[in-house]
Amino acid sequence: MPKTAAGPTARPMRADARRNYDRIVAAAESLVAEHGAEASLEQIARHAGVGSATLHRHFPSRQLLLEAVFKGRVEALCAQAHELLPASDPGAALVTWLRAVGAHAVANRGLGASLMHGTRDGDSTLGSTCHAMITSAGDELLDRARHMNAVRPDVTIAQLLKLVSAIALATEGDPDGPGEADRLLNLAIEGVRAR
């Protein structure tokens, strides 16, 4: 689906504008992973190879840029969950996806919280929409794993996502945050498997 310019009369972007948009989002993803949600907009523009005016033309506010980064990451997580659904080992598929959720949470470095706090009057449909998307995708994997007796019957997707989120938060400041998060998730998973 082609990207469109924002506004009441949204129209498809020209090829050069679409390239700039994609480069800005990719630069923002990289710098948010490295520096957190407060990454400098000027640094993002420089990293993308565009001027500050180009960045602001595509994203008039930091909030809109962070939303584009976050939404893209959530869509990728959900797509991965759907790709894993037909796996022959549903327990392993669920664990693979939970690892991806953990890596996503570690890479976000405060992005989700920043989006929730940065919205006017606390009204963020993006945060709740993304949460619902992740929960739904994970629930499908968990249901299949439960059906095949690969996980305990009393485990819920909300519990698993809280666990992964807590691990990501606990390892956010570690020099090897993604690696430590993965090791802690390995320890926790043994308590989730069916006995």
Q: pLDDT of 29-67, one tens digit each? A: 889 878 877 889 999 999 999 999 999 999 998 888 988
Q: What is the pLDDT of residue 129?
A: 81
Give, to the nearest 10 degrees, the angle between helix 15-35 and helix 62-84.
90
Q: How confident is the model at residue 193 (pLDDT cuts 50, 70, 90)?
A: low
Q: What is the C-alpha separation between 147 and 88, in angstroms, rounded?
A: 13
For residues 98 and 13, membership in a common domain is answered with no
For residues 80 and 139, membership in a common domain is answered with yes
**Which residue range forms the structural domain that includes residue 30?**
1-60
Residue 151 domain-assigned? yes
Work out how many domains the chain is built from and give that number: 2
For residues 55 and 135, membership in a common domain is answered with no
Q: How confident is the model at residue 179 (pLDDT cuts 50, 70, 90)?
A: confident
For residues 81 and 25, membership in a common domain is answered with no
List the one residue out of 175, 36, 23 whose CA is nearest residue 112: 36
Q: How confident is the model at residue 191 (pLDDT cuts 50, 70, 90)?
A: low
For residues 155 and 101, membership in a common domain is answered with yes
Q: What is the pLDDT of residue 127?
A: 67
For residues 121 and 71, membership in a common domain is answered with yes
| Per-residue tokens: 64 | 């809109």
Find out whether 141 and 84 touch, Cβ atoms under 8 Å. Answer: yes
For residues 69 and 129, membership in a common domain is answered with yes
